[in-house]
Every structure is written in structure tokens, then in C-alpha cells.
Amino acid sequence: MRRSCFILLSAATALLLSSCSVNCHKNITYLTADKASQKDLKLDVFSPKKIEEKKDVFVFLHGGGWRHGKKSMYTFFGKRMAKKGVIGVNISYPLSPDADYDGMAEASAHAIKWIKENISKYGGDPERIFISGHSAGGHLAALITVKQEYFQELNLKDPVKGVILIDAAGLDMYNYLKKQADKGNTQYQSVFTTNPENWKRGSPIYYLHEGVPPMLIFTGEKTYPNIKSSNKRFINELPQHSIKFEHKEIRRKHHIPMIFQFYNGRNPLYNDILKFMAEQK
């Protein structure tokens, strides 16, 4: 069922947004195939037609349960952000079974490094990089931001100015997978392995610390119960580490519509995102 939703979204995106009304730079290689990736990994950059000063950068990681999805399904998001005066970047990352969560996070950190080093060529400000993700993409966005080793391994000081999570999954995979193991559910073993220590290593909630950049967190009122509960635990932990955050529960929204709603360029959540980005000095 979930996979069919993503296929439908992909088809709708291709039909409705087949041309670029902003500057589109697609399929730029940010990481060539090596032992960490079986194929070149690419990203798309969307920028306003006219750029008179450096723009904030909004990086989006797609969802899909760590197994499905692709950046091209979310071209609409990058284009909408560019129309609103922001540089939009959609990235691809390796999916299961080609990679586990750690490989996905490593690739995502490489993408941020590429953006930091190259986005000025497209009108972006490398000092103002904001990272966002929906569902599994939200998990990866949170993980590489709070777990410092991913940028440290690249000799990169954490470049993230702020984090925007959209119905993020996996914020506490340890708690979730413990319960699933008791039920005999092995759905995410290829991503998080059978080792409970890896479940904890892959859970952003256990790496929160003072100094994590501010967060804007959206959750759907009618999202999956496990996403709702893990977000609640995550949010409750943030003040314990003096992390600034805003949380908004979006009424009547299920998990997939939490990202569908951004088709509408007039959706008020765009204003929330832009306001949040502007406030980070």
C-alpha cells in the first residue's frame, strides 16, 4: 500500500511539474560509486531565476521507509522553495538492501559536504544550510545533525543551521524495534540489523546534546501511532539539552498527506518554514 502511494506521487509529479519555472540543475553527482555506494549518488539544485544576494539553502531528504522513494518524486518541493527565494536541494541516498541506516547517513553527510563546498556557485549561502526530511528522510536528517561522528569523519564542522522535520520516522528506533521483536516483526532488519545496540546507535534521541541547532518539527494529528509516540518522546527530551525547537501538530493530517500538502505552494507551512529559517542568525 505504501509503495503504491509513492508510485502515484511520482507519476503525479512528472505530470504536473515536468518543466522548470526556476533554474533547475539536476542529477549532479555528489559521491561517486565506491565501497560505500554501489552507484553514483546525485542531487538536484533549484534556484530562483534572479539572485542578487546569497540565499538560504533548504536540503530535503525523501522518505520511503529506508527502502523506497527517490528525489525526483519531490521536485515540486525544491521548485516551490526556489520560487519563494530559497535554494532548494533534493538529494538521493542509497536504499536498503544496498545500505543500512549507517550507510544512508554517511551518504547524506557527504551530500551536505558537497553543498557546503559548492552551493555558492548556485547562489546559495554555505553558512546557512537547513536540512529537512519526511518520514525516513526525517530520521536521517536528525541523525546526521545530532550524531556528530558523520561530519567529523569528513573533517567538517557541523554546517547545519537548523532542522525541519516533517512527520519524521525512526527518532527512537531502539524503543520501536524492541516492541516489534517481541511480536516477531523483522521488517527493518536489513536497515537496522538484529543487534539492539545498532537500534540505539541509529536513534537520534540518544545523541541529543547541547549545541544541536534549532528544530522545527511538524507531526500529523492522524499519523502512525509509532511516529506520533516517538516524536513526542523526542520533543520531550529537547529541553533537557537546551535545544531550541518549535512543534506544530497539523490537524487531520495522516503520514503521507503530511508531504502531499506541499504541492500547494500556498500551504501556510511554507511560511512557517521560511520564518523559522529567517530567525536563525
Q: Are 31 and 41 in contact (CB under 8 A)?
A: yes
Mean pLDDT of 26-44: 86
113-142 per-position pLDDT tens digit: 999 999 999 999 999 999 999 999 999 999
- Residue 99 sits at φ, ψ, to 5 deg, of -150, 155
For the CA atoms of 86, 43, 230, 215, what is the dihedral angle to 10 degrees? Answer: -30
Instruction: Please compute the mean of the pLDDT values over residues 160-180 and round it to a whole number.
Output: 96
**What is the model's pLDDT at position 1?**
40
**Domain ranges for the chain:** 2-279
pLDDT value for 18? 46
Average pLDDT over residues 35-41: 73
Q: What is the pLDDT of residues 180-237, one digit of tens each?
A: 877 877 889 899 999 999 999 999 999 999 999 999 999 999 999 999 999 999 999 9
pLDDT cut 70: percent of the chain above it: 92
Rounded mean pLDDT, 32-58: 89
| pLDDT at residue 121, as a whole number | 97
pLDDT for 36 equals: 52
Q: Is the pLDDT of residue 17 over 50?
A: no
Region 238-253: mean pLDDT is: 98
Query: Burial code of 26-45, b = ≥16 C-beta within 10 A, e = fewer?
Result: eeeebbeeeeebeeebbbbb
User: Do the beta carbons of residue 113 and residue 156 sit within 8 Å?
Assistant: yes
Instruction: Give me the CATH code for the 2-279 domain, please.
Output: 3.40.50.1820
Are 115 and 85 contacting, i.e. CB atoms less than 8 angstroms apart? Answer: no
CB 72 within 8 A of CB 4: no
Between residues 1 and 271, the one the model is more confident about: 271
Strand residues in the chain grouped as ranges (E): 23-31, 41-47, 55-61, 87-91, 124-134, 160-166, 215-220, 245-250
- Whether residue 135 contacts residue 141, with contact meaning beta carbons closer than 8 Å, is answered with no
